[in-house]
């Protein structure tokens, strides 16, 4: 499979969030699965029209200073398609693109680089976790907190998301990046009602876009670009590789299948350890591949992270403990505070996360308060064999412990709940087969499901209730 970029509007079928005036306020329909109308007070409606985004406003993860090679043609084509199609689109959507392909291909990296490169061309650039409708609503709700905190801090998630949609309708010229779309139809509810900006989506799903947006494939790096990336990461940007180093890099890049994530992690290992390209290639060749039946990218990552984890454990054993636990959480926006039960000392926690970041196993948010783990790395880590008598894979017990410790004491602590919920749901949804959660973890799922029920978001609690049922059936039959 190859990656791609998709373009176009939702077409006549793209029914989405809509605004309707009612009395002194406005009702905004914000979800496709719930189809509910949220009423906003007149004062909030006025702020949605009057509040302007500050220059350069956005929430992009990371900076534009990272190494970016081999995608200049794709970047230029993406810019052309977004600009040209907006001017000619009959769907009233200036431009929509979806980058799809296998894990580790560089979809999010291309989208992030595009957003950084052209952010001054937009009134606002907003990065949205689009793995599901719950995450999309939460990400939109965060936009209202950024632009109108005086009102948003007292409003619920649905109201904040509705305000964000209303603001986007009043203020044209923005870019929304929907990252990691699992179900293309989830975007249908937003494209039709938000015509005055650009929509850029990344997805590993190549099908299902025909009624929403056409696609453009994103392939593996070409050989020259892969060698340049590997040499830059290994020796630093100021070093000019010798012909022998480029030859060794070419052989290693070919072994890694020109997969950007594999090249980045190999380069990080080589830079941190000082291992030569030839020696590293020999080490990989001696490894027996245990990812039988997996896709090629999974098998490639398996070969790499074995050496990487050994090096990280020698440097900081606590870092591996944290990574094992993070493999079971949601991949994005993992708060540092959530990890403190495993590493209470802030200095020790910072050093452990620093070791993981040095080896390219995690990425920091712009403010360094959150971290993220690549989904392909999570997949590989989750499929390691169990190490304990209870059949639990490494890190699973710790992940359940983290969410139990982080549960808010009050249902009214909305900000804390919203940061925690994606991770509670991820832990529930990633439960190993035939390994129901403990009674204590099941209680945590029930409390989270009750919070979602009080919020009118029962559909999003389905993974929690599924895990609760599995545990009850094990105990009660």
Please compute the mean of the pLDDT values over residues 244-272 and round it to a whole number: 90
Stretch among 346-350, 400-404, 437-441 having the lowest mean pLDDT: 437-441
> Between 85 and 132, where is the model more confident?
132
Reduced 3-state DSSP string for the chain: CCEEEECCCCHHHCCCCCEEEECCEEEEECCCCCCCEEEECHHHHHHHHHCCCCCCCECCCCCCCCCCCCCHHHHHHHHHHHHHHHHHCCCCCCEEEEEECCCCCCHHHHHHHHHHHCHHHCCCEEEEECCCHHHHHHHHHHHHHHHCHHHHCCCCHHHHHHHHHHHHHHCCCEEEEEECCCCHHHHHHHHCCCCCEEEEEEECCCCCCCCCCCEEEECCCCHHHHHHHHHHHHHCCCCCCCHHHHHHHHHHHHHCCCCHHHHHHHHHHHHHHCCCHHHHHHHHHHCCCCCCCCCHHHHHHHHHHHHHHHHHHHHCHHHHHHHHHHCCCCCCCEEHHHHHHHCCCHHHHHHHHHHHHHCCCCEECCCCCEEECCHHHHHHHHCCCCCCCCCCCCCHHHHHHHHHHHCCCCCCCHHHHHHHHHHHHHHHHCCCCCCCCCHHHHHHHHHHHHHHHHCCCHHHHHHHHHHHHHHHHHHHC
Q: What is the mean pLDDT of the chain?
A: 81
> Between 91 and 389, where is the model more confident?
389
pLDDT bucket at 289, cuts 50 / 70 / 90: very low
Please compute the mean of the pLDDT values over residues 120-144 and round it to a whole number: 91
Q: What pLDDT, on the 0 to 100 scale, is given for residue 16? A: 40
CATH no. for 3-218: 3.40.50.300
> Between 73 and 242, where is the model more confident?
242
Q: Is the pLDDT of residue 139 over 70?
A: yes
Q: Is the pLDDT of residue 96 over 70?
A: no
Q: What percent of the chain has pLDDT over 90?
A: 34
pLDDT bucket at 216, cuts 50 / 70 / 90: low
**Residues 174-202: pLDDT tens digits?**
999 998 888 888 888 788 788 889 988 88
Q: What pLDDT, on the 0 to 100 scale, is given for residue 63? A: 63
Q: Is the pLDDT of residue 267 over 60?
A: yes
Please compute the mean of the pLDDT values over residues 134-157 and round it to a whole number: 90
> Between 372 and 30, where is the model more confident?
372
Q: What pLDDT, on the 0 to 100 scale, is given for residue 84? A: 65
pLDDT bucket at 281, cuts 50 / 70 / 90: confident
Q: Is the pLDDT of residue 21 over 70?
A: no
Q: What pLDDT, on the 0 to 100 scale, is given for residue 294? A: 46
Q: What percent of the chain has pLDDT over 70?
A: 82
**Residues 415-459: pLDDT tens digits?**
889 899 999 999 998 888 777 788 899 999 999 999 999 888 888
Please compute the mean of the pLDDT values over residues 278-289 and round it to a whole number: 74
Q: Is the pLDDT of residue 410 over 90?
A: no
Q: Please, where in the chain does CATH 3.40.50.300 lie?
A: 3-218
pLDDT bucket at 20, cuts 50 / 70 / 90: very low
């Amino acid at each position: 499979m190859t990656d791609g970029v998709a373009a176009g509007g939702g077409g006549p079928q793209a029914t989405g969030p809509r605004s309707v005036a009612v009395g002194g306020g406005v009702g905004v329909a914000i979800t496709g699965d719930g189809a509910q109308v949220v009423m906003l007070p007149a004062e909030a409606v006025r702020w949605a029209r009057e509040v302007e985004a500050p220059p350069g406003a956005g929430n992009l993860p990371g900076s534009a200073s990272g190494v970016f090679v081999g995608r200049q043609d794709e970047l230029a084509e993406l810019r052309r398609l977004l600009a040209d199609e907006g001017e000619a689109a009959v769907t009233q959507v200036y431009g929509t693109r979806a980058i799809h392909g296998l894990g580790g291909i560089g979809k999010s990296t291309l989208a992030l680089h595009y957003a950084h490169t052209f952010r001054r061309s937009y009134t606002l650039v907003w990065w949205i976790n689009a793995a599901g409708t719950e995450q999309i609503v939460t990400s939109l709700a965060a936009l209202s907190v950024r632009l109108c905190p005086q009102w948003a801090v007292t409003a619920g998630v649905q109201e904040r998301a509705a305000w964000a949609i209303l603001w986007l309708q009043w203020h044209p010229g923005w870019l929304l990046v929907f990252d990691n779309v699992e179900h293309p139809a989830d975007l249908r509810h937003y494209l039709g009602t938000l015509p005055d900006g650009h929509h850029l989506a990344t997805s590993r799903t190549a099908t299902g876009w025909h009624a929403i947006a056409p696609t453009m494939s994103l392939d593996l790096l070409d050989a020259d670009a892969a060698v340049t990336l590997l040499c830059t990461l290994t020796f630093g940007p100021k070093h000019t590789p010798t012909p022998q180093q480029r030859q060794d890099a070419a052989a290693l890049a070919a072994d890694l299948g020109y997969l950007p994530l594999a090249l980045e992690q190999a380069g990080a290992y080589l830079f941190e350890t000082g291992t030569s390209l030839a020696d590293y290639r020999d080490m990989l060749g001696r490894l027996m591949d245990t990812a039988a039946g997996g896709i090629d990218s999974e098998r490639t990552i398996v070969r790499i992270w074995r050496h990487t984890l050994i090096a990280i454990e020698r440097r900081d054993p606590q870092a591996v403990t944290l990574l094992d636990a993070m493999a079971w959480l949601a991949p994005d926006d993992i708060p540092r505070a959530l990890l403190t039960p495993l590493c209470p000392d802030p200095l020790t926690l910072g050093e452990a996360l620093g070791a993981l970041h040095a080896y390219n196993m995690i990425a920091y948010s712009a403010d360094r308060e959150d971290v993220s783990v690549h989904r392909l790395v999570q997949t590989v880590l989750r499929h390691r064999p169990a190490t304990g008598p209870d059949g639990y894979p490494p890190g699973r017990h710790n992940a359940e412990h983290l969410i139990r410790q982080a549960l808010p004491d009050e249902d009214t602590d909305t900000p804390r709940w919203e940061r925690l919920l994606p991770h509670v749901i991820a832990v529930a949804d990633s439960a190993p087969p035939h390994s129901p959660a403990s009674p204590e973890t099941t209680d945590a799922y029930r409390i989270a499901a009750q919070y979602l029920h009080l919020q009118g978001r029962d559909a999003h609690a389905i993974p929690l209730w599924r895990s609760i049922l599995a545990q009850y059936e094990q105990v009660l039959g």
